[in-house]
Amino acid sequence: MEIYQIRAFVTVARLGNLTKAADALSLTQPAVTAQIKALEQSLGVALFERSAGRLTLAKAGEVLLPTAESLLVLGAQFKAEAQQLQGSLHGAVDLGVPSEQPDFLRLGELASAVREQLPLIELKTLTLPTSVLHEHISTGRLHAALTIAANPPRAVHWMPLRSVRYRIALPVPLANALKRGGWREVAQLPWLDGPAGSHTHLLLRDMFERHGLAPRVVMQHDDQANLDALVRAGAGCALLREETALAGAAGGEFIVWGQARADATLGFMMPHERASEPVLVALSSLMQKIWKSRRLPMEPEVTAEQTTNRVTL
């Protein structure tokens, strides 16, 4: 039994017309009908009598209607009180983040939402490699973190946000010299890598280890958010987010090598033992709203079961 099902029942009962109720709820008639049927199945009684395409309150519906209306009132009161409590939440939240573009992580939207809805909360971000983020969450040194991982982190509260795909980007001169080379030749090219334990480092190493190889790293760079600038300058090859790699290739700035790609997941994690703290519950709720409100076609919603490590050649 869900609150939206109760709302559909009360709205149809009040208006006495399925079409008007659907309009009032901004739903289709089949959707309203489905919600009422689901509620009836959950309760085990018929709330309406159906005849000649019309719905009239059944005896059980008449008896239960006042209680249903009271539940809606209590639900609205419950939500209002929760919103008031949000304003009283205060303190500092240490949020770990991977080295990525703030727009990609939607940090600006998060900061804006915290300022508006949790005005007494101070958000502090700390950029760390993936493995360190996981360690700090597991040990409680961070309140929460955004992270990019090939597999769901263990022993933490994990909320996947979107899938992320990485491609191999080569400077144009190196790509022209490579011609028809394979993985062994690509591994011998100069490579730009992130620090040990970072998401790009882990994905890059895993990609080459599957072929019994290791990339020839000539530079480790902490700022993985701007590796594309180094590839563009000809410093070496790098693993870039697919949208960045394809955009650069379309502009003739570098070359995307073959169909090789590595898949990972951007997610939000918290320590299990702190996930029920009011401040973190509120922060988690904001995070969900931000990512569900502006999901792009290339950002499919993911579940924990869909975040297994995948490397396609």
Question: Tens digit of pLDDT for each residue in 237-258?
Answer: 999 999 999 999 999 999 999 8
Predicted confidence (pLDDT) per residue in 89-143, tens digit: 778 999 999 999 999 999 999 999 999 888 888 999 999 999 999 999 988 889 9
Residue 148: name the closest of 176, 127, 120 by CA: 127
Residue 100: name the closest of 149, 47, 59 by CA: 149
Structure tokens at 147: 């992270």
Q: Report phi then psi at 14, rounded to 5.
A: -70, -45
The per-residue pLDDT for 303 is: 37
Residue 5 and residue 19: Cα distance in Å, rounded? 16
Q: Give the SS3 label for residue 122.
A: strand
Report the alpha-carbon angle 18-24-27, nearest 5.
75
Structure tokens at 142: 């961070």
The per-residue pLDDT for 143 is: 93
Stretches in the chain below the pLDDT threshold 70: 52-53, 80-81, 83-87, 294-313
> Which ranges constitute the DSSP H helices of the chain?
3-15, 18-25, 29-43, 59-88, 102-105, 107-117, 130-138, 172-178, 183-187, 199-209, 227-232, 242-250, 278-293
The per-residue pLDDT for 84 is: 58
The per-residue pLDDT for 177 is: 76
Structure tokens at 152: 């769901």
Residue 146: name the closest of 164, 134, 155, 163 by CA: 134
Find the distance separating the first CA and the last CA of the chain, reported in whole Å: 47
What does DSSP assign to residue 237?
B
Count of alpha carbons within 13 angstroms of residue 22, beta-carbon side? 12
Domains of the chain: 3-85 (1.10.10.10), 88-162+266-293 (3.40.190.10), 164-262 (3.40.190.10)
Are the CB atoms for 237 and 256 separated by under 8 Å? Answer: no
Structure tokens at 238: 């790098």
